[in-house]
Every structure is written in structure tokens, then in C-alpha cells.
Amino acid sequence: MTNKNNQHVFRLALLLGLFSTLGPFTIDMYLPAFPEIVKQFDTTASLVQLSLTACLLGLGIGQLVMGSLSDVYGRRNPLLISMVVYVIASLACAFSPNIGLLIACRFVQGFAASAGIVISRAIARDLYSGHELTKFFSLLLLVGNLGPLVAPVTGSGILSFTTWVGVFIALALLGIYLLTMTKWKLQETLPSDRRKPSNFMQQLRNYGSLLRDRKFVGYMLAQGIMIAGVFAYVSGTPFIYQNIYGASPTVFALLFGSNGISLIIGSQVVGRMSHRVSEQAFMLFGLWLACLASVAVLVVAIVHGPLFALVIPLFFFVAAIGITSTAAFPLAMESQAQMAGSAAALLGVIPFLLGAIVSPLVGIAGEDTAVPLGVIILLTSVAAMLSYFFLVRRSTRGAGSN
């Protein structure tokens, strides 16, 4: 590959990675403001966490809709419209007069942000396949995973000189920037002759066909359930670090951001080594690493160990997510070139729907214990492992015996 081609690939990965960061920024940037929002609206931690749940639901459901629309109308136009909606929803969040309206606006904001996630991945599948897709996807994640690293630190910085309202105004500005990038820098990657007919029933049949594919469903569930555990971590650590361990918003942002580094390390190891180690081997290693790390988190939570003893296994747990996500995506998308948008949507929707379920459960025992977090991430790790073995491994062995 020539140097010119390398530069083009990097620029494309940078652009698509920026769209991928819209999800993490939408989720993570206001996390340091959770305690402030509780006081502002005189509400409970669970209700504020419900605003995160609403956003996750929007991100999940939105991917189903936007993935299908991008298979019908191309990648560019749905992304343009979504960015306009995102800017409006972000401003509505900023000026919400009560927690109920904030929760509703967060759903719309998440719905619009979903386009950046699912369409950027569909574009990657339009252009690449096999190990090339793995390498490009890891490069895309290198940019996209900076979101969890930068977002809480950025949010904390904004909170140092303004209120949580400023966080959502900043998100609106980010949306305006991405709208501009969509308009002037992004080219269409799905030719008209490869688009699906505008038929609602056909879209349902496409999803039905994907859900009958045991290997696809196995990868989808394994990846999705693992990431749901991360959303439990995202929802719980603002209160665990700040309320239980007394960390300041700045310290919380730094600790939270450090796990963004582990996410990047996990994804890049897979991308750099995919020509030597199979994606299947990386998938299995990531699942085992998540199980071991989550056991350590639960033990520390039960004995109320020191902060560093909690942060270290969480670092490895998030690294395991980077490994499994990067390995699972190309494996699941391998035979889905004709339904890349719909397949990417299903791969994206499960983590957010499951995350929406588990996020409020972290605070079910109150703000003074980390045990629910340990229990939830252990259960998600085990469930992901079972999904992989019962669906992917069994279907692979069955095919090999035929």
C-alpha cells in the first residue's frame, strides 16, 4: 500500500472515528455532573441515572432505524439529518426545566447520535472485508475510543467554570462540527445499485434473517452483553468514586479516563496482531479476562478495599471489552456485505438496550456500596461467555462435522 493510500485510509478512519465518538461523548461527558444534577432538580440518583438509561435506549433503538435507512437511502443523507436533530436535542437538554424533560430530551439526543455509530461502521464494511476490515476497524476504534478517555475530562473541565448546562451546549457545538464534516468531507460509499428497496416488511425480513444466523447472534450477544457491563461501570463509578471514596470530579475524570486508555490498548492489540493471532483466539482471551477481572472487582467491593484495588481490575475489565469488541465485529460482519447497515445496527443495538436495563440496577442498593456493580459485571461476563460457547462454538463444530 502506497504512502498516499495510507494517508487516505488514516484520514477516513479519523473522520469515521469522530462520528463514533459522538456516542461516548453523549454518554460520558455529563457523568461528572451527576451529583450536581441531583441537587439542581432536587431528585434522586436513580432518576438521574434514568437520564442515562433514556440516552442508551435512544442509542439502541436509533441504530435499528438508522441502520435500515442507510441501507435504503445511502449513508450520507441519514447522517446529515441526524446531526441536525442532535444539535436541537442537545440544546433542549441544556435548557430543560425539570428532570422529566431532561430524560425525554436525552432519549432524542441518543437516538440522533446513534447514526454516527452505526453508519460509520456500515461505511467501514462497504469499503473493507476480512483482515483488512479488522485492521481498519481497530484504527477507527483508536479514534472512537478516545471518546471515553476525553469526554469525562472535558466535562469536568467545563464544570470547573460553568454548570452542567454548559456540557450540553458543548455537545451541541460538537454536533454542529460533525454536521459540517458530513456536508463537506464525507462521500457516499453505498452505490444506488447496492441499496435495498424501501420496504418496511423487507427490512423486518432482513433482521429476521440475521437473527436466524446462529454465529451472527452469538457474536452479537457476546459483544453486546460485555458492553452492557461497561455501561453498568459508566453509570455506577460517578457515585462510587466520588461518594464512597471521596474523589473530586477532576480525580474521577482522570480515573475514568484511564480506562479509556485500556479500551484503546485492547482494541489496538487485536488490530496490530490480527495477521498473527486469529480473531477467534482474541475473542476467547477477552472473555476469560473479563470474567477474572469482574471476580476481582466483586471481591474488592464486598470487603470495601482501597480505591486502587478497585481501579486496577476495572482497568483490565474495560481492556477486555476493547479486545472482544474489535474481534467480534469483523467476525460477525464477515458474511453480511449485502446487509451491512442492518447488521451493524443489530450489533450496536444490543449493547445499548442491555445497558439501559443494567445501568439503573447499579444504584439499587443506594449510593454507598459498590457491590451491585461487581455483581452486574460478573453476571454480564459469564453470560457473554455462555453466549459465545453455546451459539458460536456449537455452530462452528456442527458445520465442521457436516
pTM of this prediction exceeds 0.75: no
Phi, psi of 349 (to 5 degrees): -75, -40
pLDDT at 336: 67
Sign of the dihedral defined by the CA atoms of residues 218, 224, 230, 232, in that order: negative
Query: Is residue 33 in some structural domain?
Result: yes
Phi, psi of 33 (to 5 degrees): -90, 0
Which stretches of 134-195 are assigned E, i.e. beta strand? none
pLDDT at 15: 83
pLDDT at 149: 66
Listing DSSP states for 40-85 in one string gives HTT--HHHHHHHHHHHHHHHHHHHHHHHHHHHHH-SHHHHHHHHHH
What CATH number is attached to the domain comprising 243?
1.20.1250.20
The amino acid that residue 84 corresponds to is: V
Please tell me which residue, 360 or 317, carries the higher pLDDT value: 317
Query: Is residue 191 in some structural domain?
Result: no
Query: Is residue 197 in some structural domain?
Result: no
Which stretches of 154-282 are assigned E, i.e. beta strand? none
Mean residue pLDDT across the chain: 84
pLDDT at 402: 44
Query: Is residue 202 in some structural domain?
Result: no
Show the 3-state SS of 219-245: HHHHHHHHHHHHHHHHHHHHHHHHHHC
pLDDT at 335: 66
Q: Are 135 and 267 in contact (CB under 8 A)?
A: no
Q: How confident is the model at residue 85 (pLDDT cuts 50, 70, 90)?
A: very high
pLDDT at 3: 56
Query: Is residue 52 in some structural domain?
Result: yes
Q: Give the domain extent around 163.
A: 17-184+207-401
Check whether 17 has a pLDDT greater than 80: yes
**Cα 144 to chain centroid, rounded:** 9
Query: Is residue 194 in some structural domain?
Result: no
Q: How confident is the model at residue 103 (pLDDT cuts 50, 70, 90)?
A: very high
Q: Are 119 and 223 in contact (CB under 8 A)?
A: no
Please tell me which residue, 340 or 67, carries the higher pLDDT value: 67
Query: Is residue 348 in some structural domain?
Result: yes
Number of domains in the chain: 1
pLDDT at 6: 66
Q: Tell me: the pLDDT tens digits for 159-204?
A: 888 888 999 999 999 999 999 988 888 888 888 877 777 676 777 7
C-alpha closest to that of 100 among 45, 62, 43, 162: 43
58-72, 112-126, 228-242, 388-402: which range is least confident on average? Answer: 388-402
Q: Is 282 exposed, middle or buried (0-12, 13-18, 19+ CB in 10 A)?
A: buried
Q: Are 94 and 168 in contact (CB under 8 A)?
A: yes
Q: Are 333 and 114 in contact (CB under 8 A)?
A: no
Is 90 in a helix, a strand, or coil?
A: helix
pLDDT at 383: 94
What the block records as the C-alpha cell of 307 is: 480505591
267-271, 279-283, 309-313: which range is least confident on average? Answer: 267-271
Q: How confident is the model at residue 356 (pLDDT cuts 50, 70, 90)?
A: confident
**Calpha distance 332→348 (Å, rounded):** 12
Query: Is residue 75 in some structural domain?
Result: yes
Q: How confident is the model at residue 111 (pLDDT cuts 50, 70, 90)?
A: very high
Q: Are 2 and 125 in contact (CB under 8 A)?
A: no
Gyration radius of the chain over CA positions? 20
What the block records as the C-alpha cell of 58 is: 435512544
Please tell me which residue, 28 or 381, carries the higher pLDDT value: 381
The amino acid that residue 29 corresponds to is: M
Check whether 232 has a pLDDT greater than 50: yes
pLDDT at 89: 97
Highest mean pLDDT (candidates 84-88, 93-97, 143-147, 389-393): 84-88
26-35, 75-84, 129-138, 242-251: which range is least confident on average? Answer: 129-138
265-279, 317-331, 381-395: which range is least confident on average? Answer: 265-279
